[in-house]
Chain A
Amino acid sequence: GAVVSQHPSRVICKSGTSVKIECRSLDFQATTMFWYRQFPKKSLMLMATSNEGSKATYEQGVEKDKFLINHASLTLSTLTVTSAHPEDSSFYICSASEGDTEAFFGQGTRLTVV
């Protein structure tokens, strides 16, 4: 299947700092990207949907000023967690699709805020 690369796979940051997570589609044009977070032993929770060149659409309850999503090109989307706090510690996962094809997921980023 198609390859979606997420970077970094793990990151530890200090409380109050910002951290950026990158999601790249390596062999296709990602017209749509999705960002999820996942808590231990829980399912994936959709945070936002982004289309290339447009503003992201956030799910209810997700703070758009805290979780900044940029989808400036057809191969790259970024999620920036601003002013991170320990409660933002989680597993963040992106997925990407080209047109109507099925979505492929990155390997995830484990964020720990200390």
Chain B
Amino acid sequence: DAKTTQPPSMDCAEGRAANLPCNHSTISGNEYVYWYRQIHSQGPQYIIHGLKNNETNEMASLIITEDRKSSTLILPHATLRDTAVYYCIVRPATSGTYKYIFGTGTRLKVLA
């Protein structure tokens, strides 16, 4: 079973920041938080991952709470092309063979 919970859906106005929350209250000390997104009828796309420090790349920022029980993915300026299902996954990064278990994700709709 997935070890994360996410809201089923969210709307965001184009050009505004999209903040997608994820709860992972049972996360272990060696588990990272990964974010992927899936645009309709395509394979998931890697976005970002982190352990405890906040992370930023060209796609998004990841904010992890100090107790690591929750995190937020931030898309700073959402566009229509960001409409997708966003998945938050926790897993150890030190084992490449460890599974990626997908939960139900958050369906983000960016509105014009």
Contacts and interface: CB of A to CB of B under 8 A. Distances in A.
A103 B100 contact: yes
Interface residues of B, number: 23
A32 B97 contact: yes
B101 A46 contact: yes
A105 interface: yes
Q: DSSP majority for the A interface?
A: strand
A97 B41 contact: no
4 closest Cβ pairs, A-B complex: A105-B43, A44-B102, A105-B44, A43-B102
Interface of B: 34, 36, 38, 41-46, 49, 87, 93-97, 99-105
22 contacts: A1-B45, A4-B43, A32-B96, A34-B100, A43-B87, A43-B102, A43-B104, A44-B38, A44-B44, A46-B101, A49-B97, A91-B41, A95-B100, A97-B96, A98-B96, A100-B95, A100-B96, A101-B96, A103-B46, A106-B43, A108-B42, A110-B41
Given A46-B99, A105-B44, 16 more contacts: A4-B43, A43-B103, A43-B104, A49-B97, A49-B99, A51-B97, A93-B43, A95-B43, A95-B44, A95-B100, A100-B93, A102-B49, A103-B46, A105-B43, A107-B42, A108-B42
